[in-house]
Amino acid sequence: MRPLDQPGAGMIRAHDVTIGGLRTHYLEAGDASAAPLLLLHGWPEWSHVWRPVMQRLDQAFHLYAPDFRGFGQSDKTFSAPGADATPERLAHDVLDFMDALGVTRAGIVAHDVGSFVAQVLARQAPQRVRALFFFNCAYPGIGARWVAPDHLMEVWYQFFHQQAWAAELIGSSRTTCRIYLREFLRHWAYRQDTFDAELDTWVDNFMLPGNLQGGFNWYVSNHASRMAVIKGTAAVPPPIDLPTRVFWGRHDPVLKAEWTDRLPAFFSNLELSIAEDAGHFVHYEMPNEAAEEIRKFFGRVPA
């Protein structure tokens, strides 16, 4: 693995842009003349998680990795539980971000939270999306399996994060925050030590003022739509027709690989394969393979 930000190995640049009064932080790499790719993160993540992939793709694409509102170094919109981080709101933020940077159309690479946002983008503004690449995609076809009896122990956090005191409790000390994040990073990764060298970087980020609550607000904001999918009351959206590539970690305990079974009903132009040696964080656990799959896919998709 190449050291991050090593001179000669590709330089990642950090910027801020203010859109509608909201400061959005983002990472950028690559040549401005290359095809643009937007990298959309999940939880417990922020733009930083894309660095290994960005280092490997900086010669092929113009890469942007924004922090969603409430995450990383982007502005926090609520200091208490708030519901302004719906997939639709975040998708609108992404479109505003693209407009501010002069990006008319881009390939989208998404994971976890980002996969919700990317699907909204693809349905509401398909002309702005060249193609979709997902790692472990949360999509409506999962349905009630989110809360199947044998899966409840994997999704407890989605309900815990909605408690008004959750961020205060987890952020009550650096030790508490470290224990909490370490559990997810170790349990969700196929190899438990994947994040050990950078665990304190994760703790540093989520101990910044508002970052725990900012991330938890995703779960507050998405609860109603998630429950509608689980109950079967949500309208079934039409399939997305854009070229779509899904690279799903075999050993993800929270977004199970067997849940790929209904993807063709929601993506009509689909390429699917399994990352055999990864869990939830395919892009971070195996960045060489992840970057190569991204490169190959967008290399054969019309510009």
Look up 112 and say whether it is catalytic: yes
Q: What angle do CA 283, 161, 80 make, to 5 degrees?
A: 115
Look up 284 and say whether it is catalytic: no
Compute the distance between CA of residue 302 and CA of residue 84 in angstroms, rounded to an integer.
35
- The catalytic position among 58, 67, 93, 112 is 112
- The catalytic position among 41, 280, 283, 284 is 280
Q: Which residue has the tokens 């926090």?
A: 76
Compute the distance between CA of residue 57 and CA of residue 61 in angstroms, rounded to an integer.
6
Q: Using alpha carbons, list the distances in angstroms from residue 124 to 89, 240, 262.
A: 12, 10, 22
Q: Taking phi first (over 0 means left), then psi (-120 to 50 degrees means alpha), and beta for anything else, what does residue 136 get?
A: left
- The catalytic position among 219, 251, 252, 283 is 219
Look up 180 and say whether it is catalytic: no
Compute the distance between CA of residue 238 and CA of residue 253 in angstroms, rounded to an integer.
28
Residues annotated catalytic, as ranges: 112, 219, 280
